[in-house]
Chains A and B, each alone.
Chain A
């Protein structure tokens, strides 16, 4: 099946270090993104620990496509378009569940194998004269173009052909490696539930923000700054609460973030925190170091825990924090609507206190009831509104631009550079330009 794609001119939306406002507010651009960026790239679907047994499934979206991720009889994982081949009903209904030996549509009881193939159709003989075998309906629930499970993280590419998983992510996978290696057993378990936070803004603003190191001391002065102020008023000798330890680094000065460093990789991936980060100075958790030393040996354990990466963007729409075991998904719903899901992991075999700290971080920073979240959402929503202004057309991401930067796909730069944002927008333009996949 040939996959001829039409090339799209992206110059109306990206010129040098500038992004046009239409990239954020135009529903037409959003529709195009769904058919290009979210089709040609490898998008995170879910974590395998949520579906340990055959028939276990999770429903979610990849871009704007409803999908179901399901554990197969052989232990593999499939990702199917969650759409009955008959009348288009969403087949798997729960957010998470077990479907038994097959999927069954709630409308007319068409059933499907766990890999999406048609199992049985009631009154099938009634289709004898209709040429059913030659229709789409006979093909069952459609599989996505490709699936790859990397250390229990499930990714898929909707398009049938395109870059391989390894080519797309390359060295960026090292952040997932580091998060998994932080478990003495080399294993993560999704734990603590998911925080779901609705944002009336474009999804790219959230992706952009993850490596924006010049906003915390400004936007979060009201939350993290107040936390530091309140803490300073505590009586001398009061032990520093975990919450203050989590909040305080947000309002570090520019110099701290400059020294933190940023690394960018090809295809829009990159991370803040190459040398230092806001997660670097947390108190040791009793017993953990001994477990790590026993599992990996002192040198390797030091190497694993010495990696203090802050935010890693896996383009297009997730962010991973290894040292605090969180993963955020920025789910695009419309040009001006994004659902943010913040997931947390237990390091299997590690002390409970690590999960407790991870969950506190998630509550304090990523919840719809979080004061840090309030600061961020306020500026996103103000942007979403004000980008309708015709007074200016372009958004600027030019800080510490180097004309030679596009010649070096992987590089480490000053932590206040907007290099990684430019990297993301360039990747965005690259996949947009490929145009929608043409199905034969």
Chain B
């Protein structure tokens, strides 16, 4: 299967959330370009990640810090560890330009995060801006829009 086929874009989305659910953090981070950002807006239809507040707007270094922290021996909020589960609707290719290799894919999701006896359900839409790097697609921006992005949450410790 060619990496420029739309199916490769869809496959990447399934692969990405599977890495999260299986807590294969190094494999997960490898899917992100060096200049990538992971963005969880605070308001509906938000356009500015810098001069408006967000739940997360993190570059690859900050994502790396999170992953390192999850592995740490003194990460007490992970005693016991959190687990998560994504249920992703069939992703739609919103735009796809094989040359120079840019694409946008969108998927609705339900996300469950659990820790000890607590289980939280979140719902939203993930939008991926992708760039072809050599033979592989890499995530340049993952935008996670929660349906209740402005609600008061307890700890959200993993990744949607």
Contact = CB atoms under 8 A, between A and B. Distances in A.
A369 B40 contact: yes
A230 B76 contact: no
B109 to A, nearest CB: 16
B43 A222 contact: no
B70 to A, nearest CB: 9
B53 A363 contact: yes
Given A195-B53, A352-B51, A377 B65 contact: no
A356 B51 CA distance: 5
Interface string B144-155: 000000111111
A344 interface: yes
Contacts of A196: 150-153
Contacts of A191: 51
How many chain A residues sit at the interface, stated as a range, is 35 or more
A191 B51 CA distance: 8
A329 interface: no
B77 A363 contact: no
Contact of A374 (B50, B55, B59, B155): B155
Interface in A123-177: none
Nearest to B152: A196
B56 to A, nearest CB: 5
A200 B154 contact: yes
Interface string B41-63: 01100000011111111010110
B52 A222 contact: no
Interface string B127-160: 0000000000000000000000011111111000
Given A193-B42, A371-B69, A378-B77, A230 B50 contact: no
Nearest to A234: B61
Given A192-B51, A221-B74, A197 B152 contact: yes
Nearest to B82: A374
Interface string A349-391: 0001001100110111001110101110111000000000000
B72 interface: yes
Contact of B64 (A219, A221, A230): A230
Contacts of A101: none
A42 to B, nearest CB: 25
B52 A192 contact: yes
Given A221-B74, A226-B68, A243-B62, A193 B43 contact: yes
A225 B62 CA distance: 13
Q: Which 6 A-B pairs have the closest CB atoms?
A: A196-B152, A378-B77, A368-B153, A192-B53, A222-B75, A193-B53
